[in-house]
């Protein structure tokens, strides 16, 4: 029996090691092939910035995937949150309250997603896609396509500051991811989420408050998207309706690479962190070789499809073992 | 009779642990060969090897004296070996015809499925089996018994010579079982088919089997000829001791207060059901499949909608609109559908055990108390003798009977006052069945009120202090169990009005 246990552990550890090795290989490859454009400060700072946003969204996405859902609205919520925080700042609101209110709005959108999925029994894809279009549309209409810039230094410093040479943006996202990673492993609440994702009906029959916890998962996803929106506005010094396009595919890809499955019940934030790294460097590789930054949208789509396919293979392998 | 299939020295290990040891097993042409053994003895594993689902670690298989190598289920079908697995694999939303001919649908000139031809062919297959079902209806709308027959039809219609049935009767009603037995006897005669039949219901084995092979802990204990086969002998070979499985287990206690009282419950599939159950009492609920027992239990438990009626728990009115509320109020339900409504197959035994009592495992600030969970899981592993006793193993790696024990532990760990068990010994071997029975009795003696739904009359009569009889959603009456006989219950079940 002990042997079996070890084997299981090995596989888990193996996935992390595999992920680390893949990341190192891609990074080495880029360093050798494109030393000039890859290994320079501005490229690295760019990678770290996108990674930070991806990381925050992936925190929420991993949790939603664990309960067997998916949240396609996060990219749009990023845009909405950037606009709200920009407007509030311009109206003279303090940084603290701006953050609180914006994150709250994100969380409320999450709750709405959750209610659509649980009470109205809409498929997660459909519900969150609908909310995505509504919010994105709302953003374009209210801003009429204009950027909201001219934000106070107090607000922009939030994500531009460095603490012991580490950009605060990176620090915030990494610390939050680690916290989420630990909570997922330790908290009773999240353990129940894994059960819900594994078998929603069995969970309900066991007396696990499945609907409540699902709503909570979507709320957390909205929370992280809101936070990410505040930080993006702070980082670029403006709010815009065009922020966050395609972010959801990257967050899903990162989570699935890290060990989550679309059918729910699996997911590991530490795996997801490496998923984010891999998505970011692969993206960067395409930009390095393709030359155009716009490649990133196509690339995240391709990566998403590949990981989802791998997800299916993984799942049918699991089923076969199950027989 | 010639031997059509011979397995020689089959061994199988899962991650280093051997579960089949040098198994020799053979099947003759045109015989029904029963394979029996305790939960986890290795029956399904051996059948999975013969049907190409998994590969043996070592050993040889011969068919008609020629060695065959089975890499996958397709190879087995080429050798004319077909299996109906322990768990049904009917697609609910496909029609009967589509299910039977799945993967070999007739194609018309344009390359589409020829529906007309499909239905004609399916009808032919069904006719050969001697059953008349409209092949155009959805399989999901059929009873489990008929679905089982459809599955067998699907396999047999592939022109096989060896048919493997892994616990085909575990979810069938008594009547459906009789029909299936007749059907198997007939097709065996008509088509000279060899059938391997796994069951925990030894009376079926006695009626049906030409020969019976007993497995224990992965070893073949022996093979009995028809005339040698008696139930006590088989049991002794299976578990290594004798077992008085008929011994009645009625309560000698005086019952306590009424704990649960249901008054005029109406819902989908049942109407006007009233009953009460007291401390220390086991209330049996008998009915044929379709009697509305499970529907009633699910509504009572808050999983399905109760249209009207009152539920009183310890004298207080209670509205139960979701299972969480039921569990919180001390009512637990052990489902008959363990795969879909009960277990979390890809999670460990431990998490399955605590799934109904997560709240009890908080340490501080909502951190999970893993140690306590380990202790509780270990406790039930020991009490129910779950094998292998590894709380971190995923549930799908357990044999069917052990999965049933894990399901029961989940409810017990929530310490209910009222326990509703629905077919509690489905797929469980005789020894374990006996154990589950005595556990239920002991729980009742310690004060629990138990409602036991079962289609097995002997089990009900052995355990229940009273038996409520339901038929087609209607309550036919409740009998006190003073030497109640099967005839008493059946005659009330079929009584007019
Ligand atoms: N995929 C698997 N991984 C690990 N162990 C397994 C796996 N499948 C079966 N086993 C183990 O092999 C042994 C035999 O299991 P098997 O399912 O063949 O029993 P069985 O005789 O069919 O029992 P039951 O009557 O309960 O269905 C058990 O100890 C079981 O735990
Ligand atoms: Mg089995």
Strand partners of residue B34: B197, B212
Distance (Å) from the alpha carbon of A1 to chain B's nearest alpha carbon: 7
The whole-chain average pLDDT of chain B stands at 90
Domain membership of residue A322 (yes or no) is no
What secondary structure letter does DSSP report for B254? Answer: P
Alpha-carbon distances, residue B198 vs A13, B429, B467 (angstroms):
40, 11, 30
Q: What is the pLDDT of residues B220-264, one digit of tens each?
A: 999 999 999 988 899 889 888 777 766 777 766 678 899 999 999
Domain membership of residue A11 (yes or no) is no
What secondary structure letter does DSSP report for B94? Answer: S
Residue in chain B closest to A191 (alpha carbons) equals: B368
Rounded to an integer, the average pLDDT of B25-41 is 93
Distance (Å) from the alpha carbon of A206 to chain B's nearest alpha carbon: 5
Query: H or E stretch including A203?
Result: helix A200-206
A201/B347 Cβ within 8 A? no
State the pLDDT at residue A321: 47
- Best mutation site among B220, B396, B399 for ligand 1, i.e. most ligand atoms within 8 A of its Cβ? B399
Question: Taking Cα atoms as reference points, which of A201, A12, A111 lies closest to residue B338?
Answer: A201
A209 touches chain B (CB under 8 A): yes
Domain membership of residue A78 (yes or no) is yes
Rounded to an integer, the average pLDDT of B466-471 is 92
A289 pLDDT band, cuts 50/70/90, is: confident
The yes-or-no answer to whether B3-239 and B257-494 have a common fold is yes
How many alpha carbons fall within 13 Å on the CB side of residue B344? 31
Q: Is residue A322 pLDDT above 60, yes or no?
A: no
For chain A, what percent of residues have pLDDT higher than 90? Answer: 65
B58 pLDDT band, cuts 50/70/90, is: very high
Number of domains in chain A: 1
Q: What DSSP assignment string belongs to B160-227?
A: -SEEEEESTTTT--HHHHHHHHHHHHHHHHHHT-EEEEE-S-HHHHHHH-SEEEEEETTEEEEEEEGG
Size of interface A-B (CB pairs under 8 A): 99
Verify whether ligand 1 is closer than 6 Å to residue B399 (CB atom): yes
A199 touches chain B (CB under 8 A): yes
**Beta strand extents in B362-481 (DSSP E only):** 418-422, 449-454, 466-471, 474-480
A185 touches chain B (CB under 8 A): no
Q: What DSSP assignment string belongs to B282-348?
A: EEEEE--TTSSHHHHHHHHTTSS-EEEEEEEETTEEE---SHHHHHHTTEEEE-S-IIIII--TTSB
Of 3.10.580.10, 3.20.20.80, 3.40.640.10, 3.40.50.300, the CATH number of B3-239 is 3.40.50.300
Number of H helices, E strands in chain A: 14, 4
Domain membership of residue A309 (yes or no) is yes
Domain membership of residue A36 (yes or no) is no
Alpha-carbon distances, residue B167 vs A130, B12, B87 (angstroms):
47, 21, 9
* Cα separation, A38 vs A36, whole angstroms: 6
* Cα separation, B314 vs B343, whole angstroms: 30
CB neighbour list of residue B314: distance below 8 Å, 6 or more residues apart: B257, B259, B417
Q: Look at residue B62 and give its three-state secondary structure.
A: strand
Take atom 7 of ligand 1 and give the residue whose Cα is closest.
B397
A11 touches chain B (CB under 8 A): no
A195/B347 Cβ within 8 A? yes
Q: Which residues of A touch B48 (CB under 8 A)?
A: 323
Verify whether ligand 1 is closer than 6 Å to residue B386 (CB atom): no
A199/B344 Cβ within 8 A? yes
* Cα separation, B449 vs B329, whole angstroms: 13
Angle at B407 between CA B402 and CA B412, to 5 degrees: 120
A192 touches chain B (CB under 8 A): yes
Verify whether ligand 1 is closer than 6 Å to residue B218 (CB atom): no
A7/B344 Cβ within 8 A? no
Verify whether ligand 1 is closer than 6 Å to residue B40 (CB atom): yes
Full-prediction pTM beyond 0.90?
no
Q: B397: CA distance to ligand 1 center in Å? A: 7
Q: Domain containing A302: what range?
A: 57-313
Question: Taking Cα atoms as reference points, which of B381, B18, B39 lies closest to residue B238?
Answer: B39
Q: Is residue B129 pLDDT above 70, yes or no?
A: yes
Domain membership of residue A1 (yes or no) is no
A1/B346 Cβ within 8 A? no
B90 touches chain A (CB under 8 A): no
* Cα separation, B290 vs B296, whole angstroms: 11
Q: What is the pLDDT of residues A45-93, one digit of tens each?
A: 889 999 999 999 999 999 999 999 999 999 999 999 999 999 999 999 9
Top CATH class of B257-494 equals: alpha beta
Domain membership of residue A252 (yes or no) is yes
Question: Taking Cα atoms as reference points, which of B37, B47, B53, B54 lies closest to residue B7?
Answer: B47
Rounded to an integer, the average pLDDT of B314-321 is 92
Rounded to an integer, the average pLDDT of B201-209 is 91
Query: H or E stretch including B67?
Result: strand B66-68
Torsion, Cα of A6, A9, A13, A15 (10° steps): 120
B104 or B70: whose pLDDT is higher?
Answer: B70
Mutate to test the interface with B, among A6, A202, A211 (most CBs of B within 10 A): A202
A31 touches chain B (CB under 8 A): no
A323/B53 Cβ within 8 A? yes
A8 pLDDT band, cuts 50/70/90, is: low
**Chain A residues 246-305 within an 8 A CB cutoff of chain B:** 265-266
Q: What phi-psi label fits residue A71: left (phi over 0), alpha (psi between -120 and 50 degrees) or beta?
A: beta
Nearest ligand atom owner, CA of B428: 1
Rounded to an integer, the average pLDDT of A120-142 is 96
Q: Is residue B50 pLDDT above 50, yes or no?
A: yes
B393/A1 Cβ within 8 A? yes
Burial (CB count <10 Å: 0-12, 13-18, 19+), residue B319: exposed
Compare CB distances from B393 to A4, A186, A189 and report the shortest one's residue.
A4
B85-89, B223-227, B481-485: which is most confident: B223-227
Question: Taking Cα atoms as reference points, which of B217, B187, B185, B177 lies closest to residue B388?
Answer: B217
State the pLDDT at residue A58: 97
B419 pLDDT band, cuts 50/70/90, is: very high
A107 or A14: whose pLDDT is higher?
Answer: A107
* Cα separation, B440 vs B447, whole angstroms: 11
CB A256 within 8 A of CB A140: no
Q: Is residue B416 pLDDT above 80, yes or no?
A: yes
Q: Look at residue B426 and give its three-state secondary structure.
A: coil
Domain range annotation of chain B: 3-239, 257-494
Judging by DSSP bridges, how do beta strands B32-37 and B58-63 pair with one another? unpaired
B435 or A120: whose pLDDT is higher?
Answer: A120
Sign, Cα dihedral of A172, A173, A174, A179: positive
State the pLDDT at residue B126: 87
Q: Which residues of B touch A194 (CB under 8 A)?
A: 347, 351
Rounded to an integer, the average pLDDT of B304-328 is 93
A238 pLDDT band, cuts 50/70/90, is: very high
For B234, phi then psi, to 5°, come to: -60, -45
Question: Taking Cα atoms as reference points, which of B35, B163, B165 lies closest to residue B88?
Answer: B165
Compare CB distances from A198 to B327, B347, B361 and report the shortest one's residue.
B347
Q: Look at residue B83 and give its three-state secondary structure.
A: strand
């Amino acid at each position: 029996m002990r042997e079996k246990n070890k084997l299981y552990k090995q596989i888990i550890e193996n996935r992390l090691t595999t992920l680390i090795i893949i990341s190192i290989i891609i990074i080495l490859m880029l360093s050798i092939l494109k030393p000039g454009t890859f290994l320079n400060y501005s490229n690295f700072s760019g990678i770290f910035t996108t990674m930070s946003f991806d990381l925050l969204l992936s925190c929420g996405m991993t949790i939603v995937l664990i309960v067997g859902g998916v949240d396609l609205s996060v990219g749009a919520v990023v845009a909405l949150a950037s606009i709200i925080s920009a407007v509030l700042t311009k109206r003279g609101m303090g940084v603290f309250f701006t953050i609180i209110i914006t994150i709250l709005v994100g969380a409320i959108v999450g709750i709405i997603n959750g209610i659509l999925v649980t009470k109205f029994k809409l498929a997660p894809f459909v519900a969150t896609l609908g909310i995505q279009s509504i919010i994105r549309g709302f953003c374009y209409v209210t801003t009429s396509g204009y950027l909201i810039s001219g934000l106070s230094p107090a607000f922009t410093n939030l994500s531009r500051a460095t603490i012991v040479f580490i950009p605060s943006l990176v620090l915030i996202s990494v610390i939050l991811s680690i916290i989420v990673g630990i909570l997922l492993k330790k908290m009773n609440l999240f353990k129940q989420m894994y059960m819900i994702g594994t078998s929603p009906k069995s969970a309900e029959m066991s007396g696990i408050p499945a609907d409540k916890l699902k709503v909570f998962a979507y709320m957390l996803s909205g929370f992280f998207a809101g936070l990410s929106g505040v930080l993006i506005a702070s980082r670029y010094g403006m709010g815009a309706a065009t922020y966050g396009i395609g972010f959801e595919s990257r967050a899903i890809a990162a989570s699935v690479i890290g060990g989550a499955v679309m059918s729910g019940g699996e997911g590991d934030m530490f795996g997801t962190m490496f998923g984010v790294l891999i998505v970011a460097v692969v993206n960067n590789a395409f930009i390095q070789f393709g030359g155009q930054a716009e490649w990133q949208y196509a690339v995240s789509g391709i990566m998403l499809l590949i990981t989802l396919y791998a997800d299916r293979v993984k799942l049918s392998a699991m089923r076969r073992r199950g027989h | 009779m010639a031997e059509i299939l011979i397995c020689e020295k089959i061994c199988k290990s899962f991650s280093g642990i051997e579960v089949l040891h040098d198994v020799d097993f053979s099947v003759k042409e045109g015989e029904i060969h029963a394979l029996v053994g305790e939960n986890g003895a290795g029956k399904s594993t051996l059948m999975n090897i013969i049907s190409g689902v998994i590969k043996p670690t070592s050993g040889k298989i011969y068919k008609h004296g020629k060695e065959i190598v089975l890499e996958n289920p397709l190879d087995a079908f080429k050798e004319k070996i077909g299996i109906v697995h322990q768990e049904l694999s009917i697609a609910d939303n496909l029609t009967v015809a589509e299910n039977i001919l799945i993967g070999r649908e007739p194609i018309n000139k344009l390359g589409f499925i020829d529906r007309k031809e499909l239905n004609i062919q399916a009808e032919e297959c069904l006719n050969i089996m001697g059953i008349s079902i409209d092949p155009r209806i959805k399989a999901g709308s059929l009873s489990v018994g008929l679905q089982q027959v459809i599955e067998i039809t699907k396999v047999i219609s592939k022109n096989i010579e060896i048919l493997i049935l892994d616990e085909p009767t575990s979810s069938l009603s008594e009547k459906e079982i009789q029909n299936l037995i007749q059907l198997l006897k007939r097709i065996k005669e008509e088509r000279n088919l060899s059938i391997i039949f796994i069951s925990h219901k030894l009376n079926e084995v006695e009626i049906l089997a030409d020969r019976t092979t007993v497995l224990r802990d992965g070893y073949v204990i022996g093979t009995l000829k028809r005339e040698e086969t008696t139930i006590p002998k088989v049991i002794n070979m299976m578990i290594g001791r004798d077992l008085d499985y008929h011994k009645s287990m009625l309560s000698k206690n005086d019952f306590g207060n009424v704990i649960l009282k249901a008054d005029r419950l109406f819902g989908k599939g049942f109407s006007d059901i009233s009953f009460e159950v007291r401390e220390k009492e086991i209330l049996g609920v008998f009915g044929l499949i379709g009697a509305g027992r499970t529907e009633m239990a699910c509504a009572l438990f808050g999983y399905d909608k109760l249209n009207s009626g009152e539920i009183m728990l310890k004298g207080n009115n209670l509205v139960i609109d979701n299972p969480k509320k039921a569990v919180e109020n001390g009512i637990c339900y052990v489902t008959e559908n363990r795969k879909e409504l009960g277990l979390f197959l890809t999670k460990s035994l431990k998490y399955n055990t605590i799934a109904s009592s997560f709240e009890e495992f908080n340490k501080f600030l909502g951190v999970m108390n893993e140690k306590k969970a380990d202790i509780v899981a270990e406790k039930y592993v020991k009490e129910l003798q779950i094998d292998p006793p590894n709380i971190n193993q995923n549930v799908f790696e357990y044999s069917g009977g052990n999965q049933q024990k894990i399901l029961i532990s989940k409810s017990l760990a929530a310490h209910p006052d009222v326990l509703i068990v629905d077919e509690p010994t489905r797929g469980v071997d005789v020894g374990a069945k006996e154990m589950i029975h005595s556990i239920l009795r002991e729980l009742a003696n310690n004060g629990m009120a138990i409602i036991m739904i079962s289609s097995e009359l002997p089990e009900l009569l052995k355990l229940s202090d009273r038996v409520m009889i339901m038929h087609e959603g209607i309550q036919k009456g409740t009998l006190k169990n003073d030497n109640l006989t099967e005839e008493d219950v059946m005659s009330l079940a079929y009584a007019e009005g």
